[in-house]
Structure 1
Amino acid sequence: MSPGLPSQHRALVFETVEAGFQLKTIPTLQPIPGSAVVRIAAAGVLSYSREIYNGQRHYEFPKPIVGGFSAVGHVAALGPDAASLRPGQLVYVDCVVRGRDDPSALFLSAIHEGFSDGSRRLMRDVWRDGPMAEFARAPLENCIALDEARLCRGLGYSPLDLMYMCYLLVPYGGLRDIGLEPGETVVVCPATGGFGGAGVQVAVAMGARVIAMGRNESELARLKEHVTKGTPGANVETVKITGDDDTDTAALQACGTIDAVLDISPPAAAKSTYLKSAIRALRRNGRCSMMGYVMDFMPGVKVMGSNITLKGKLMYEREDMLQFVKMLESGLFPKGKEFVDTKAFGLENWKEGFDVAAEYTGVGRSVVFTP
């Protein structure tokens, strides 16, 4: 038994769709080589967590399982091969787990087992449980060190606020992958959801001008107000999605030269045309990061004739996380509720937390469990 670790702790355990989660007392996992055990301060709740665990999204994962995905907490114990992490250190625990001998064998912690035999085996036998618990064990490389003195006492973020990283990191991975530069103009589509709104915040922090597309005009207005209030001088314009390809293309072209596009569409938008419009509006040699689910996007003549680069991106790399933390610690993001307004729930209130997360969406909004 590692010093400082209790023999047991509370966790949300999922056994069947019919039974849902049960708050149980389970044995506390001990550190093994290549791992850290983290005392969880805040476990993130996705806007679609309810859909994952009620079977609506048909995600595959082993059962029983402790739920969750990413978290923020303090290192409680370390495996013998830890080189830089130390007990008591604040860390971001990332949900993207990769095979060390095959990075393509990846899965999302307690969400999806991935698509290979290797990823399924890793999830089932090694890194099975998520962080909706008082303690969680995670790979060392998934524990990203955070400067608590700088972030919490200096810049005024709480550990709960830092859980908003789970939304910001995804678009940052896509924007960094296509080399977004300060001063460039990027279209974020759609921008009214949690990841899209976070994409606008990230692009502004990277020094870009942003054109935010969305169907909900009131949410587009809230998005612009939130981002420009938090970052005075931010250049954010909005374009309403009409569903007509030509109309939306013309609206984007009226905004001037467009260098890049970030597509972060949810599954419900698979048949939408706005991505095609955004690509048609790109300048010659423009780039598009495709992180979403839109299927009918290819304006072939435009892509060929204007040397457009289309790059698929799943989540982000570890190097992206390290660079993002540098941006955050450098003060490039706003503070307080101009950064994020977090709603917190205890583990025993998991149903309410899932319900609120499904509605409390968009830029600057986050829901967490606090064990």
Structure 2
Amino acid sequence: MKAAILHSLDRPLEIAQIPNPEIGTGEVIVDVVAAPVLPYANEVFNGQRRYPIELPIVPGCGAIGRVSAIGPDATHLKAGDWVFCDPTVRSRDDALIPDIALQGWSSRGEGGLRLQRYFHDGPFAEQVRVPTENAIRIGEIDSDEAGRWCALNVMLVPYGGLLSAALRAGETLLVSGATGNFGSACVAVALAMGARCVVAPGRNAQALDDLKQRFGERVRPVKLSGDEQADRERMQQAAPCPIDCVIDLLPPSAPTTAVRAALMAVRPYGRVVLMGGVGMLGGAGLDLPYPWIMRNDITIRGKWMYPTEAVTLMAGLIRSGLLDPGHFDIKTFPLVDANDAVSHAAANGGPFRMTVIRP
């Protein structure tokens, strides 16, 4: 099969023929129809993000495709089924503390790296081999819509955070990093889940205006000044009621002061979810006042990715019309132009923009 291969961090992807993946027990082979290219893929491929990947690798993170072959343990999947290839691979030998790897992308800890060595190659190829539980049915779709369904890959990340925070219909959410790729998707997902309103802070006035135009009065934009205390007060004032929940999705380049300004805007007894990348590149840590956390009974938790059932639930949100992947503007590249796709994704990231490779 044809695939894009990353051989080293100082070379572009090589398009080459490699052997088709071989199926084993507990595995599924999927014909890749569309694979998203994340806006920061170039930062992963050149080593800037310092992701623990072992080369060479066929990269990529998630895909939409059709089942080609199933193992003997599959009881519902069948050839031809449309599936989302969930890149979040979990080890099966410890239900309490599973190791996690993002297939074709990254891993967490030594156990995750060992897991990645087996489920190694991602979907920048004509086929991909995934664990049985990671080929999740999404129902019938038109092949031409496969690229748009790649929006699952972006929306599922903040959805995992909102599920972990137990966001309820009628609550007010603050999205820290609302003008970014994942943050803007979080606004759409939260509104689909029934949030009363979403406070959307950011520096990009154009992106904030776009959010307001897309979703109306339930979005409350806040233009950030960089003054931590002033920004916090403006976020709180923008909300029609105390802020029940804050989710942070800021990238590694953002200052910790921006995270803290948003986090501490939450009401007493509120919840905070940290899903961004602040601190991944070094620098100051997130300094939070112990007395404020304790006396206000604040719940703070970290969250990486999302539970398996989130894919089925989100497909239901889309099928019901509550969540519209049509918000995403899709630019498609053939596999042979994978390097152009990576460059395009880097130059054209941002709210509701997606670059897709179609093998």
301-310 vs 73-82, greater mean Cα deviation: 301-310
Q: Secondary structure at the match of 2:309?
A: helix
Q: Secondary structure at 1:11's aligned position in 2?
A: strand
- Give the superposition deviation at 1:335: 5.4
Supply the distance in 1 between the matched residues of 2:166 and 2:116 (Cα, whole angstroms).
32
2:252 and 2:148 map into 1 onto residues whose CA distance is: 27
Q: Secondary structure at 1:273's aligned position in 2? A: helix
SS of the residue aligned with 1:91?
strand
Q: Hey, what's the Cα distance between the residues in 2 that align with 1:238 and 1:224?
A: 7
Match of 2:7, SS state, is strand
Q: Would you say the 8 A contact 1:76–1:88 is kept in 2?
A: yes
Distance 1:189 1:317, change over 3 A: same
Residues 1:47 and 2:39 are matched in the alignment: yes
The one of 68, 71, 96 aligned to 1:79:
71
Whole-angstrom distance in 2 between the partners of 1:123 and 1:195: 24
Deviation string for 1:164-220 (max 9, x for gaps)? 111100000001101111111100011111100100010110111100111111111
User: What is the distance in 2 between the residues matched to 1:87 and 1:332?
Assistant: 29
Alignment partner, residue 209 of structure 2: 221
RMSD over aligned Cα atoms = 1.6
CA distance in 2, matches of 1:122, 1:257: 43
- Amino acid paired to 1:62: E
Other-structure match for 2:53: 61
Q: Hey, what does 1:4 align to over in structure 2? A: none
- 1:280 has 2:264 as partner: yes
Contact kept in structure 1, 2:148 and 2:325, CA below 8 Å: no
Determine whether 1:244 maps to 2:237: no
Distance, in Å, in 1 between the alignment partners of 2:338 and 2:177 is 28
In the alignment, the residues of structure 2 paired with residue 226 and residue 26 of structure 1 have an alpha-carbon distance, to the nearest angstrom, of: 44
Q: What is the correspondence of 1:145-164 to structure 2 with a 5 Å cutoff?
A: 145-148=137-140, 152=142, 158-164=145-151
TM-score by length of 2: 0.93
Please give the TM-score of this superposition, normalised by the length of structure 1. Answer: 0.90
1:305 to 284, 295, 301: 295
Equivalence map 1:98-247=2 (5 Å) = 98-102=90-94, 104-116=98-110, 118-124=111-117, 126-148=118-140, 152=142, 158-208=145-195, 209-228=197-216, 235-247=218-230
In the alignment, the residues of structure 2 paired with residue 201 and residue 315 of structure 1 have an alpha-carbon distance, to the nearest angstrom, of 17
Match of 1:353 among 341, 350, 355: 341
Shift of the 279–15 alpha-carbon distance from structure 1 to 2, 3 Å rule, reads closer
User: C-alpha separation between the residues in 2 aligned to 1:130 and 1:29?
Assistant: 11
| Structure 2 stretches lacking a partner, 5+ long | 279-284
Q: CA deviation at 1:293?
A: 3.2
Percent identical: 38
State how far apart, in whole Å, the 2-side matches of 1:176 and 1:69 are: 21
Give the residue type in structure 2 aligned to 1:333: L
Q: Is the 8 A contact 1:185 1:260 kept in 2?
A: yes
Counterpart position of 2:8: 16
How far, CA to CA, are the matches of 1:335 and 1:161 in structure 2? 6
Deviation at 1:52, TM superposition (A): 0.6
Secondary structure of the residue aligned to 2:168 is coil
Q: Secondary structure at the match of 1:254?
A: helix
Task: For 2:28 and 2:21, locate their aligned partners in 1 and report how far apart those are by CA, in whole Å.
Answer: 10
Report the 3-state secondary structure (helix = DSSP H, G, I; strand = E; otherwise coil) of the residue aligned with 2:35.
strand
AA partner of residue 154 (structure 2): Y
Q: Does structure 2 conserve the Cα–Cα contact (< 8 Å) formed by 1:275 and 1:297? A: no
Give the Å deviation of 1:292: 1.5
Segment of structure 1 superposing worse, 319-328 or 28-37: 319-328
Selected match of 1:91 from 83, 95, 112 = 83
Indicate yes or no: 2:270 matched with 1:292: no
Distance 2:120 2:54 in 1: 8
Measured in 2, the distance between the counterparts of 1:193 and 1:60 equals 24
Structure 1: state its 5+ residue gaps: 1-8, 229-233
Aligned length: 348
Is 1:279–1:299's contact at 8 Å kept on the other side of the alignment?
A: no
